[in-house]
A and B are shown apart, each in its own frame.
Chain A
Amino acid sequence: MATLVYINSRNGLAKNSLEAVTYAKKLGSDVMVVTAGNADEAMLATLGEYGASKVMVDRSVATDDSQQLTRLITTAAEAVGADTIIFSHDFVAKAVAPRLSVRLKAGLISGAIDLPSGDSVKVNVFSGKAFGNVKISAGKKIISLLPNSIQPEGGGSACSVEDFNGNVGDSRIKLLETKKPEGEIPLPEAELVVSAGRGLKGPENWGMVEDLATVLGAATACSRPVADIGWRPHHEHVGQTGVAIRPNLYIAAGISGAIQHLAGVNGSKVIVVINTDGEAPFFKAADYGILGDAFEVLPRLTEAVKKFKASN
């Protein structure tokens, strides 16, 4: 039996793709990859370094239409005799993996954060406030891995890349436009995040948040009220009703740390909290705390990071 990994390669190979291949390799079976992007052959061949023995690419699929991708993955799974399919739990997987589960009658575990232990897999539940161990009773399995849950492990050698006809049929969805802000680091992918809340008093004060993010190479985020009042764009809102992130470092300035905010960031490896109120609940979830005024601390931290970068 083989393990099939679906990779979203429309914009090249992201780190979460390497994580998914590494995860599949660790399951022990032969690993095949299927993708529908326009990434070039040499780039796709590097997936071999992470454990893939073959990459199958269907270049005829123009969009992320979940019906077409479900047909593609079904055709590929039959071709290689896969009983397990791995996704990275991104926006494409959220649309495709559930469809595939119904089509293959395969049990779906979404948001896995670890390798299987016995016959169950650990996932985040209750918005990161607890973990669940899910077991699949069906013969076929689909696991959608939460980004930043395991480290990619390279070291192997390049693999073959083959053109593949996934019999995807026509799309019933028309893509009219894609809008992406230039040069920004997409929040769900960012390893470092600088975030701020209502404590910053107004949108005109975000310069110091952006300055720190720039010197760190971090993405920016915000609390919900800040997005709701329109100080910051909606895609920056993290938390229970916004984006859930798992960066290595989350710096929160002027955010109280309400339970709904924590729900989106408590998967962060290290949390730094800057707040004038020593009673702010966020300090309980923090690794490092600074009891102080963000208007003074943020510029000072930016200077300290600059100094560190210059001498390292």
Chain B
Amino acid sequence: MKILVCISKSPDTTSKIAFTDGNTKFDENGVQYIVNPYDEWYALVRALELKEANGGTVTTITVGTAADDSVIRKALAIGADDAVRIDAEPTDAYFTAMQIAEHAKAGGYDLVLAGKETINYNGSQVGGMIAEAMDLPFISLASKMDVNGSTVTLETEILGGVQILEADMPLVISCAKGMAEQRIPNMRGIMAARTKPLNVVAPAAIEALTSYESYTLPEAKSACKMIDPENMDELVALLHNEAKVI
């Protein structure tokens, strides 16, 4: 079984969010990048488990510049066999997905896995776009995945519940919580990752369809109103009369 896992970077979840250049650029000063949690904890780890059970290979793919190599090495340290980096700034989801699809079409992958969303742009776009570009079924927000021969059984999140679905490979899947447990890379993995292949390829000619014009930060909340813990009637009155939410 050949599995391709889409790996993106995201700022560490505790990063301070700020902008520069007249609020048009994310301020990377002091920001630590990590593997996007959905890509790492869920997509990559489940791919490795499937490989361990059924044999095959796990390749990661990233659209990004050389600055992303450390994040890619982390994915290799967790256990991926090799990595592909498409050498371009991922300008929007469409650009990113079309680059990945272009590579994946020729790769003969049985499964293409993406995360549910990147935690910086929260678009939830790239996985579905890859599926359409490859004319493959897409199963989104999967929280469980099992493979039996050429058939994949998945559990996915729907409004207020879950669905159990089945489809034949090849497939594109976006992965959410539940898929797998986090794996911490060990020293051997980290050493091995240094010599695993990281293939840098030139991007295809594709134009982005969207762009971020500017950013704003939310207004600071006015000070919290403290209520006497003995007096919940007051809170209820405030929620009704002042906040108008009940």
Contact = CB atoms under 8 A, between A and B. Distances in A.
A285 B220 CA distance: 9
Interface in B1-24: 11, 13-14, 17, 19
Contacts of A290: 226-227, 229, 235
A269 B137 contact: no
A81 interface: no
B224 A273 contact: yes
Interface stretch (B54-62, B78-86, B117-125, B196-204): B117-125
A284 B222 CA distance: 9
Contact of A103 (B132, B209, B214): B132
Contact of B141 (A91, A240, A244, A293): A91
A101 B94 contact: yes
B110 to A, nearest CB: 14
B224 A177 contact: no
Contact of B235 (A100, A126, A130, A272): A272
Contacts of B37: 240-241
B163 A249 contact: no
Interface in B168-206: 168, 174, 177-178
Given A111-B123, A178-B163, A289-B226, A240 B13 contact: yes
A256 to B, nearest CB: 13
Interface stretch (A25-33, A41-49, A202-210, A303-311): A303-311
Given A94-B124, A102-B129, A130-B218, A174 B165 contact: yes
B226 A129 contact: no
Given A136-B209, A174-B167, A259-B14, A240 B227 contact: no
Contacts, number: 275
A102 B238 CA distance: 48
A184 B128 contact: no
A80 interface: no
A157 interface: no
B97 interface: yes
B140 interface: yes
A172 B170 CA distance: 11
Contacts of A125: 120-122, 212, 215
Interface string B96-129: 0110000000000000000000011111111111
B147 interface: no
A111 B237 CA distance: 33
Interface stretch (A51-59, A62-70, A148-156, A158-166): A62-70
A134 B211 contact: yes
Contact of A135 (B41, B120, B211): B211
A97 B178 contact: no
Contact of A110 (B123, B160, B161, B163): B123
B128 A287 contact: no
Contacts of B245: 191-192, 248-249, 269-270
B165 A235 contact: no
B158 interface: yes
Contacts of B34: none
B216 interface: yes
Contact of B177 (A181, A242, A283, A288): A242
Contacts of B159: 11, 14, 90-91, 186, 188-189
Q: Which 9 A-B pairs have the closest CB atoms?
A: A186-B160, A292-B229, A98-B128, A180-B161, A107-B209, A304-B232, A99-B132, A102-B132, A95-B140
17 contacts: A91-B141, A94-B140, A99-B131, A101-B94, A102-B133, A126-B119, A129-B218, A134-B212, A179-B164, A181-B161, A188-B160, A234-B177, A234-B178, A288-B224, A288-B238, A291-B226, A312-B240
